[in-house]
């Protein structure tokens, strides 16, 4: 089973970026832990971070030919703005789980709405870096039930 992890804009700054909101873990540390979890589950994890909307759209669009079975995605600020990322997820029809470190529902009003969540199978938010592991478990369980 191949899982594509996508992290959107500014997440390369985790560790230094507003640690009171996003925690002290760096993105490489989070990805490394997630890779270990994926190995324990018997999955291959491919990870991609970009600050560019089009690059994220391209990567989602290439997921089928890359043999990806499911997507864990933190679209970051694009969550609240990107019709293009939403359309890309809907187009490939791969099960995707949306992740947020922070509880976006408890923050500024502009973060309360996600354009991408409706095309995902679910959302995990508010558990800091643990949100990623919870999302991977949820996606794995969903793919297993679908027989993949
Ligand atoms: C975020 C929440 C978004 O609102 C924000 O723009 C981010 C990070 C999170 O993981 O909590 O960049 O996706």
pLDDT per residue as tens digits for the range 10-66? 999 999 999 999 999 999 999 999 999 999 999 999 999 999 999 999 999 999 999
Class of domain 2-145 as given by CATH: alpha beta
Interval between CA 65 and ligand 1 midpoint (Å): 28
As for the ipTM of the complex, it is 0.99
CB of 69 within 8 A of CB of 1? yes
- Compute the distance between CA of residue 58 and CA of residue 119 in angstroms, rounded to an integer: 17
Quote the pTM value.
0.97
Q: 């709405």: which residue's tokens?
A: 113
- The response to whether 101 counts as a known ligand-binding position is yes
CB 1 less than 6 A from any atom of ligand 1? no
């Amino acid at each position: 089973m191949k899982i594509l992890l996508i992290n959107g804009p500014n997440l390369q700054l985790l560790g230094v970026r507003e640690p009171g909101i996003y925690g002290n873990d760096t993105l490489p540390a989070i990805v490394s832990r997630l890779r270990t979890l994926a190995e324990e589950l018997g999955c291959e994890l491919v990870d991609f971070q970009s600050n560019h909307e089009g690059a994220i759209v391209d990567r989602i669009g290439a997921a089928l030919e890359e043999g990806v079975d499911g997507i864990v995605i933190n679209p970051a600020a694009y969550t609240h703005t990107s019709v293009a990322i939403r359309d890309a997820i809907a187009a490939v029809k791969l099960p995707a789980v949306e992740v947020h470190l922070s509880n976006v529902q408890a923050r500024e009003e502009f973060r309360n709405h996600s354009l991408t969540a409706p095309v995902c199978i679910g959302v995990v938010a508010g558990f800091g870096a643990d949100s990623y592991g919870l999302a991977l478990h949820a996606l794995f369980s969903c793919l297993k039930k679908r027989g993949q």
